[in-house]
């Protein structure tokens, strides 16, 4: 019973330590590493730990196969985890980068996305006259009523088609997105069947070179230019809203209205003005908040999937580390017993076995992180946003790498703890009798 309670207490202690470790920033881990180094340098137990660890690391060549099992297993865990999290980070960064605090988007009340919203001409006129909107030099409100439709286009280097997002915009759309730049050709002319395409869409779909004619629906459109943007706009095709509405039989309607605010603080005034207008049943958000919400759901799913897969793989790597370290302790039983017999305490033995496992885990974590960074950082991918595809890039940042390394060290900690406790509990007499 006493042994059971001791083991239970050890499990609880490990769970608490892991919960704290998961929340620890890199600066906290660096502080712990410095304190541990000082303990090893300045205390008798620490110096004994260093000696035992040096002996253990010196035998890694004799245990190369089992050591590689730990390193490669943990590298796989870190690689898969960081890659999936980088996918979510990249998608969220792409979707939210088009948002600003000084612009707002207005949709029909109850709509969560543009595809669910419908605004008639009277709605658009009322929204553009609301208080809080910035005006240009001529006194005209800086706004753009916009309409989004799905356009089927052939993919590059493929026989398949996919849906691109064709956005009909008003003249004010360019002022609302100052980061958007024409990198080839020119802007489309209002009233003409011309369009400009995002750089990501140009890379993904065939036939979108400047000057080319493409079929959208039953009509021919000319590619007038290519633009570049940091946000989801980069995956879109843009044309004159009235022309798009006519081609797709949408009358004079729009799905959203984007406006430039007189200042970020003017959003409250703008929203209050819309709420006070009895003609309108609309909802307004800053574009920063709107795009953050649009990407939140899918990014959360990707993170959950990444963590779930990571946990499953971590359990496999953990059992691999346990088996390897239990085997290492058994192979070094006489060596450990000899050290105990000449005066080494149990703590240096425990810490040295754990330190050896964590160093192997750290090597695996670094290997996995480096591979993911080399292969996936900036890697382009696409996903569905409603019925159209959005191009985005994987984003392997230092925060994700640190997350992966924390997972690696946590696996090493647990994988080395129980073999270390077993090593400390070895019977010196029985082990020496086998010499």
Q: 55 or 207, which is more confident? A: 207
pLDDT of residue 427: 64
Q: Which pLDDT belongs to residue 351?
A: 83
Q: Of the segments 131-140, 298-307, 344-353, which one has the largest average pLDDT value?
A: 131-140
Distance of CA 325 to the CA centre of its chain: 34
Q: Is residue 368 within 8 Å of 75, Cβ to Cβ? A: yes
Tokens representing residue 56 in the block: 């253990």
pLDDT digits (tens, 9 = 90+) for 351-383: 888 888 888 889 999 999 999 999 888 777 666
pLDDT at 89: 80
- pLDDT for 387 equals 42
Q: Where are the alpha helices (DSSP H) in 97-142?
A: 121-128
**Quick check: 429 pLDDT over 60?**
no
The yes-or-no verdict on residue 156 having pLDDT over 70 is yes
Q: Rg of the Cα trace of the chain?
A: 30
Is a pLDDT exceeding 80 seen at residue 315?
Answer: yes
d(Cα 381, Cα 325) in Å, to the nearest integer?
A: 40
Q: How confident is the model at residue 2 (pLDDT cuts 50, 70, 90)?
A: low
What is the per-residue pLDDT for 435? 46
pLDDT, mean of residues 248-269:
91
| Percent of the chain clearing pLDDT 70 (strictly above) | 87
> Integer distance in angstroms from the first to the last C-alpha of the chain?
33
Residue 18 is encoded by which pair of tokens? 């892991």
Q: State how far the alpha carbon of 380 is from the alpha carbons of 160, 204, 245, 374, 391, in Å.
A: 19, 10, 32, 13, 7
SS3 call for 195: strand
407 or 293, higher pLDDT: 407
pTM over 0.85: no
């Amino acid at each position: 019973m006493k042994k059971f309670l001791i083991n239970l207490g050890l499990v609880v202690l490990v769970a608490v330590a892991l919960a704290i470790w998961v929340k620890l920033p890199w600066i906290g881990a660096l502080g712990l590493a410095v304190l541990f180094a000082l303990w090893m340098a300045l205390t008798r137990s620490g110096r004994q730990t260093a000696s035992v660890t040096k002996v253990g690391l010196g035998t890694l060549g004799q245990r190369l196969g089992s050591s590689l099992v730990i390193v490669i297993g943990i590298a796989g865990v870190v690689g898969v985890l960081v890659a999936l999290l980088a996918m979510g980070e990249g998608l969220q960064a792409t979707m939210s980068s088009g948002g600003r605090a000084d612009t707002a988007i207005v949709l029909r009340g109850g709509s969560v996305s543009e595809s669910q919203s419908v605004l008639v001409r009277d709605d658009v006129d009322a929204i553009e006259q609301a208080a809080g909107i910035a005006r240009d030099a001529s006194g005209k409100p800086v706004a753009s009523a916009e309409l989004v439709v799905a356009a089927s286009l052939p993919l590059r280097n493929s026989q398949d088609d996919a849906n691109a997002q064709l956005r009909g915009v008003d003249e004010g759309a360019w002022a609302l997105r100052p980061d958007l730049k024409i990198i080839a050709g020119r802007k489309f002319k209002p009233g003409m069947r011309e369009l400009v395409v995002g750089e990501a869409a140009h890379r993904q779909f065939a036939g979108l070179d400047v000057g080319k004619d493409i079929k959208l629906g039953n009509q021919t459109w000319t590619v007038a230019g290519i633009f570049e943007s940091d946000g989801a706009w980069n995956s879109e095709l843009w044309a004159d809203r009235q022309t798009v509405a006519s081609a797709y039989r949408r009358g004079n309607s729009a799905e959203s209205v984007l406006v430039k605010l007189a200042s970020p603080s003017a959003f409250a005034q703008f929203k209050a003005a819309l709420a006070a207008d009895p003609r309108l049943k609309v909802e307004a958000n800053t574009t920063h908040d709107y795009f953050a919400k649009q990407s939140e759901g899918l990014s959360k799913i990707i993170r959950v999937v990444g963590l779930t897969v990571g946990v499953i793989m971590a359990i496999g790597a953990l059992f691999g580390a346990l088996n390897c370290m239990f085997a290492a302790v058994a192979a070094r039983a006489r060596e450990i017993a000899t050290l105990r017999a000449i005066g080494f305490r149990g703590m240096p033995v425990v810490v040295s076995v754990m330190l050896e496992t964590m160093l192997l885990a750290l090597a695996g974590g670094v290997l996995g992180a480096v591979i993911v960074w080399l292969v996936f950082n900036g890697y382009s991918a696409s996903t569905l946003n409603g019925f159209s595809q959005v191009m985005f890039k994987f984003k392997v940042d230092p925060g994700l790498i640190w997350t992966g390394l924390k997972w690696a060290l946590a696996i090493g900690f647990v994988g080395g703890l129980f073999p270390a406790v077993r090593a400390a509990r070895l019977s010196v007499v029985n082990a020496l009798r086998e010499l």
